Amino acid sequence: MKKILLLSDTHGYLDEQILKHVKQADEIWHAGDIGNINVTDTIKDHGVLRAVYGNIDDHNIRKEFPLDEKFKIENTQVWMTHIGGYPNRYDKRIKQKLSLEKPNIFISGHSHILKVMFDKKLNILHLNPGAAGKHGFHKVRTMIRFKIDKSRIYDLEIIEMEQRN
């Protein structure tokens, strides 16, 4: 069993509210727009990090993290990317590959809009954790935490942090 913290769109921002949850997770997954390599360096000090780069990330971040992260954990196939869309509105780069590869979980960020959706056509759980940083139009900073045990995904919780100023 693994406890997962999923976040995205930090845009260089990392505070104690985020770190509190980072410290409680077995793995931290960042779905891009990291914003500053110090964010991921700090997260790595506290746990196992898997991350992808986003459209605002510089060459240092792009050198360290891929565009797509595909991996298996607890018999669950995961595909994480920054710009991916969501069921019935997948990004054109993703759409055909997704129907062929069919991961159990498809994760994207970018929109700053929290989404947890099940794609019935492809039998895929789609997750977008919203934005954990302060840059953007979102009013509430969000993350998702959940557990994975032998392909079972459970105890999924939305974490809301203080409203942006």
2-163 classified as CATH 3.60.21.10: yes
CA angle, 43 as apex, 28 and 29 as ends, to 5°?
20
Indicate the pairing of strand 89-90 with strand 85-86.
Answer: antiparallel
Backbone angles phi, psi at 79, to 5 degrees: -130, 120
Please determine, for residue 124, whether its predicted confidence score (pLDDT) is greater than 70: yes
What's the token pair of residue 160?
A: 């809301």
Please determine, for residue 165, whether its predicted confidence score (pLDDT) is greater than 60: no
pTM, two decimal places: 0.96
Chain segment 52-106, per-residue pLDDT in tens = 999 999 999 999 999 999 999 999 999 999 999 999 999 999 999 998 999 999 9
Q: What is the pLDDT of residue 126?
A: 98
Mean pLDDT of the chain: 96
What's the token pair of residue 59?
A: 């060459």
Residues 6+ apart with CB under 8 A from 159: 21, 142, 143, 144, 145
Domain ranges of the chain: 2-163
Among 147, 97, 148, CA closest to 122: 97
SS3 category, 76: strand
Chain segment 98-117, per-residue pLDDT in tens = 989 999 999 999 999 999 99
SS3 category, 164: coil
What does the alpha-carbon distance between residue 138 and residue 129 come to, in Å, rounded to a whole number?
12
Please determine, for residue 163, whether its predicted confidence score (pLDDT) is greater than 90: no
Residue 162's pLDDT band (cuts 50, 70, 90): confident
What's the token pair of residue 90?
A: 């997948």
What does the alpha-carbon distance between residue 110 and residue 82 come to, in Å, rounded to a whole number?
6
Residue 136's pLDDT band (cuts 50, 70, 90): confident
Chain segment 20-58, per-residue pLDDT in tens = 999 999 999 999 999 999 999 999 999 999 999 999 999
Mean pLDDT of all residues in 2-27: 97
What's the token pair of residue 109?
A: 């960020």
